[in-house]
Amino acid sequence: MINKDFFQALDELEQQKKINKEQFVETLESALTSAYKKMYGEAKSAMVKLNPEKCTIKIYSYKTVVEEVEDYDKEISLEEAQKIKKSYKVGDTIFQEESTKEFGRIAAQTAKQVVMQRLKEMERQIAISTLSEKEDELLTTIIKRIDNGTVFVSIAGSHTEGVMLESDQIPGEKFNVGDRVKVYVKKIQDSFKGPQIQVTRSNLGFVRKLFELEVPEIQTGEVVIKNIARDPGNRTKISIYSSKPNIDALGACVGNRGMRVNTISSEMNGEKIDLILYSEDPMEYIARALSPAKVLSVEINESLKVSRVVVPDDKLSLAIGKNGQNVRLAARLTGWKIDVRSESQVEGSAGEVKEIDFELTELEEENSQEDLTPVEEIDFSQFTSLDEEL
Among residues 194, 269, 190, which one has the least CA distance to residue 236? 269
DSSP 2: B
Yes or no: say if 238 and 273 are a contact pair by the CB < 8 Å rule.
yes
Residue 291 confidence (pLDDT)? 92
Domain ranges (residues) in the chain: 4-130, 140-202, 203-278, 283-390
Specify the CATH number of the domain 203-278.
Answer: 3.30.300.20
Length of the chain: 390
Instruction: Identify the CA nearest to 390 among candidates 298, 317, 321.
Output: 298
Distance CA 284, CA 388 (A): 11
Contact (CB, 8 A) for 300 and 306: yes
For residue 57, pLDDT over 80 is answered with no
With H, G, I as helix, E, B as strand and everything else as coil, classify residue 314. Answer: helix
Lowest-confidence range among 154-168, 232-246, 324-338? 154-168
Question: 107's torsion region: left (phi>0), alpha (psi -120 to 50) or beta?
Answer: alpha
**Is 364 a residue whose pLDDT tops 70?**
no
258 C-beta neighbours (distance < 10 Å), count:
11
Q: Is the pLDDT confidence value at 377 over 70?
A: no
pLDDT tens string 139-182: 999 999 999 999 999 987 666 788 999 999 999 999 999 999 99
Degrees (nearest 5) of the Cα angle 216, 265, 331?
Answer: 95
DSSP 3-state of 358: coil
How many angstroms separate the CA atoms of 284 and 288, rounded?
6
Q: Name the band, by pLDDT with cuts 50, 70 and 90, for residue 108.
A: low
Whether residue 113 contacts residue 30, with contact meaning beta carbons closer than 8 Å, is answered with no
CATH number listed for the domain at residues 4-130: 3.30.1480.10
**Model confidence at 31, in pLDDT bands (50, 70, 90)?**
confident
Let me know: does 232 contact 240? Beta carbons within 8 Å.
no
pTM: 0.64
CATH of domain 283-390: 3.30.300.20
The pLDDT of residue 295 = 94
Pair 8, 16: CB distance under 8 Å? no
Beta-ladder partners of 198: 163, 187
Is the pLDDT assigned to residue 338 strictly greater than 90?
A: yes
d(CA 135, CA 138): 9
The region that residue 158 occupies, defined by phi over 0 for left and psi between -120 and 50 for alpha, beta otherwise, is beta
Tens-place pLDDT, residues 61-80: 788 889 888 887 788 888 88
State how far the alpha carbon of 44 is from the alpha carbons of 41, 80, 85, 302, in Å: 6, 18, 22, 79
pLDDT tier at 102, thresholds 50, 70, 90 = low
**Domain range 140-202, CATH class:** mainly beta
User: What's at 386, amino acid-wise?
Assistant: L
pLDDT surpasses 70 at 100: no
Task: Answer whether 140-202 and 283-390 agree in fold.
Answer: no
